[in-house]
């Protein structure tokens, strides 16, 4: 099975998340291994979301149909990272 990875980040200037990384095969495996080797918990595995995001061109904002799910995901990741760092403000 050929692995794929997509990276997203919130672009405050645009007010929407955008695709910042796309990789396939060995490059994707390398990114996944790097993320798993750190304390960074922002690696999410979801095939349907991956497939949908992989169709978004690099450096483009996420389609409106995906905006809500990405916003929820980013909030969850932010909260998880805050919790793991001991900032239980949520």
**Winning range, highest mean pLDDT, from 3-7, 11-15, 39-43:** 3-7
DSSP conformation letters of 17-77:
EEEEEEEETHHHHHHHHHHHTSS-------HHHHHHHHTSPTTPBPPHHHHHHHHHHHHHH
Instruction: Tell me what the pLDDT averaged over the chain comes to.
Output: 85
Q: What is the CA radius of gyration of the chain?
A: 14
CB atoms within 10 A of CB 18: 19
pLDDT tens digits, residue range 32-59? 898 888 866 678 888 999 999 999 999 9
- All structural domains of the chain: 4-84 (3.40.1690.10)
Question: To the nearest 10°, the Cα dihedral for 56, 59, 10, 6?
Answer: 50
pTM, to two decimals? 0.74
């Amino acid at each position: 099975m050929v692995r794929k990875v997509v990276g997203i980040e919130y672009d405050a200037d645009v007010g929407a998340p955008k695709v910042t990384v796309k990789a396939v095969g060995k490059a994707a495996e390398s990114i996944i291994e790097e993320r798993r080797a750190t304390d960074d918990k922002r690696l999410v595995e979801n095939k349907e979301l991956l497939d949908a995001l992989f169709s978004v061109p690099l450096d483009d904002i996420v389609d409106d149909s995906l905006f809500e799910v990405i916003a929820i995901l980013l909030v969850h990741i932010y909260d998880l990272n805050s919790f793991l760092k001991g900032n239980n403000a949520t």
